[in-house]
Chain A
């Protein structure tokens, strides 16, 4: 068959396949796209592994490749070792996020509500926000008696800003008439907070928390390189020291999966508390 007839035929086959695919339920389409994306990622990882193995300078790192990594991951799961590691890290993240929320939401409400305070706070907050959380490490170590607390502090200081700014943004977007109407209907301060302000800003607060989870998770691993003897960051460092690159890659996979899960939870919360209709 000549090329001139094959091309239109292929185009029409592709078109038919595309329109058939678009007929499928949305969730099937979504799963297909995600699976395809993950397949590309795995392929790239696999190719990278081959390239590392074939290069004499890097061949000692060959167990970074998918096959040894998944084998190591299986062992970590089967032996139960990974759960303690995950729990140590999750605990630090959750405590850090807890403090970030406890501090960030009220501060966000205050700077969102009072424009003068917002103007005063703007510059120092923007300045503090831009400091890498890891830069606080020496101070954290000085202030806190345990490494655990120092890490929690670093996570808090990293996670608090998106929550402050998300909350403030939410408060600023509140329709001023909502306050007037509520006052007019006899709301006291507490009712105003619980029935008007909190539901109005919930989705923006959770959007802030979602960003905070991302930042906290990124900060966690390097923070765990230091001092502590548990957690995913420690596991990576330990694997590097013992030249166990398969385990190192396995832990990286775990970090990715848990980060994705945390982000999905935050995204679900945003959706749950979102009241804006499309």
Chain B
């Protein structure tokens, strides 16, 4: 298991898309130790994807900062890699070319081409590596995206609901695989999801976000080992705990919003 020095610090982060516009994120404080698998859960529009993009350096917050390994994030880097809901592969390239792209950009492809083959083997695509990515199924495409993200040996893997468009079987398999890979390789993982089971299946810690504006309102530790048995009593119990916690927060928020609307 490799160790990485970096961890993610988010301090006093707030964001609005335009000056004077209402905040989409407010007063976010979060510290993620290295190697931890974190799930951010919340309703659509709670700003969780925005927050993830800020950690990736694809967006800059209007207030506060994201620090990785002590340095403020100001731009994207191959060290913290993001997987999106869509695989977003380049359709003019083969499976292998797609997976190798980060290495090609870094100019290290020649030295590290074996790594691409190893990763494609790991995600079960070694026999498809010369195919065009358009010939693959949705799940296989997302696996290519995973191999592509891992090829640059990222310290942090950011996942923006990457399995939500897949069928249930593929989704479950990939959730288990990704969690296992991150765990084994010591990669810090931060994922955004609205699927409670996915959060419990993958994360060491679940952060609950509420909306209007997006803020962190609670968290839950998931002290389960990998691989996780979804039919085990403690898994089901944690799922229920998270669901209840989420529902209570959501109800409180709705009540609060109704009161504001009535005033």
Q: What is A's interface to B at a CB cutoff of 8 Å? A: 175, 177-178, 180-188, 191, 195-196, 199-200, 202, 275-277
Contact = CB atoms under 8 A, between A and B. Distances in A.
Contacts, number: 61
B81 A184 contact: yes
B105 A275 contact: no
A178 B58 contact: no
State the main secondary structure of chain B at its contact with A.
Answer: mixed
A196 B90 contact: yes
Nearest to B77: A186
Contacts of A180: 58, 82, 84, 88
Given A177-B84, A177-B86, A277-B134, A185 B78 contact: yes
For B91, B92, B102, B106, which residue has the most chain A Cβ atoms within 10 angstroms?
Answer: B92
Contacts of A188: 105
Nearest to A186: B78
Contacts of A175: 88
Given A177-B84, A191-B105, A277-B134, A184 B58 contact: yes
Given A186-B77, A186-B152, A195 B91 contact: no
23 contacts: A177-B84, A180-B82, A180-B88, A181-B88, A182-B105, A184-B56, A184-B76, A184-B78, A184-B82, A185-B78, A185-B152, A186-B77, A186-B78, A186-B105, A187-B105, A188-B105, A195-B90, A195-B104, A199-B90, A199-B93, A200-B92, A275-B134, A277-B91
A195 B100 CA distance: 12
B23 interface: no
Give the residue among A186, A276, A277 with the most B Cβ atoms within 10 A. Answer: A186
Contacts of A195: 90, 101, 104-105
Given A180-B58, A277-B132, A277-B134, A185 B88 contact: no
Contacts of B101: 182, 185, 195
B96 interface: no
Given A183-B76, A184-B56, A186-B76, A276 B91 contact: yes
Given A177-B84, A177-B86, A277-B132, A185 B92 contact: no
A187 B92 CA distance: 17
Given A199-B90, A275-B91, A276-B91, A185 B105 contact: yes
Contacts of B76: 183-184, 186
B58 A183 contact: yes
A262 to B, nearest CB: 25
Contacts of B86: 177
Interface in B94-110: 101-102, 104-106
Given A185-B102, A185-B148, A199 B92 contact: yes
A11 to B, nearest CB: 43
A177 B86 CA distance: 9
B88 A178 contact: yes
B39 to A, nearest CB: 20
